[in-house]
Amino acid sequence: MEQKKKKSTLTTIGIDHATNRLIDKFCKRYNLKKGEVVRLAFGYLDKASINPSDPPESVKSELAKINKRQDDLIRFIRHFEEEQLNPMVKATHAISLKFDATVKNLGTKIDSEIAASKENIQTISTKMENGFNKQEELIQKISEKMNLLYHFHKDKMNQLFNLIALYAELAACGITESKKKERLKEEITNLINSNQ
């Protein structure tokens, strides 16, 4: 019963002598039988989606079409690079420069605040020596100022770390995350403006 299933029905087709010679030529060249040549040829036509009644003009013309498509794609990529990527790189560079300037300004402000705090502490300690009777009040003032200074420095450092985190998140954004980038830029600007 299995042998009957394996047998395929053979059919014949009528072809002219020129086509027969062409098939014989392929049979000799590739060491195939006529039926195999016909089967493989039709398989190729089917896979390549070639209409046998309208074959391609030549391989050169098909390659020219492919090259034209590649050139169109390259033009599109270059246009995208000029219109989208280059402005994004420039914007990122500008943000980086602004970030550097902001960090330098914050460092200068913190240094000046520390210097002012040192002067305040020295003044307070001198007053402590001069006014021994008011020692408790002065100690309380020193404690409050040191607490304020501590909170001031802590707030400034938190703002600096938040700014660094926002820039890192902005730098990690992909090309297609423009809304997220705009939101991050706005947060950065707000954070920078709140420090000034």
Contact 166, 191 (CB under 8 A): yes
pLDDT for 135 equals 62
pTM > 0.75: no
Distance, CA of 75 to CA of 150 (rounded, Å) = 58
Q: Say if residue 188's pLDDT is above 70.
A: yes
Residue found by looking up tokens 């003044």 in the block: 123
Choose between 70 and 129: higher pLDDT.
70
The pLDDT value given to residue 160: 74
**Phi and psi at residue 10, to the nearest 5°:** -95, 140
Instruction: Report yes or no: 185 and 170 within 8 Å, Cβ to Cβ.
Output: yes
The answer, yes or no, to whether residue 164 has pLDDT greater than 70, is yes
Task: Report yes or no: 173 and 184 within 8 Å, Cβ to Cβ.
Answer: yes
Residue 53: predicted pLDDT: 79
Domain ranges within the chain, ordered by starting residue: 13-55, 92-195
State both tokens at 20: 């027969």
- What is the reported pLDDT for 27? 92
Provide the phi-psi class of 31: left if phi over 0, else alpha when psi is between -120 and 50, else beta. left
Q: Beta-carbon neighbour count of residue 188 at 10 Å? A: 20
The C-alpha angle 32, 34, 38, rounded to 5 degrees, equals 100
Q: Are 169 and 95 in contact (CB under 8 A)?
A: no
Percentage of residues in the chain having pLDDT higher than 70:
86
pLDDT of residue 31: 92
**Average pLDDT of 34-43?**
88
What tens digit of pLDDT does each residue of 120-145 get?
888 877 776 676 656 667 677 878 88
- C-beta neighbour count of 103 within 10 angstroms: 14
Say yes or no to pLDDT of 55 above 90: no
pLDDT band for position 101 (50/70/90)?
A: confident
**Amino acid symbol at 19:** T
pLDDT bucket at 81, cuts 50 / 70 / 90: confident
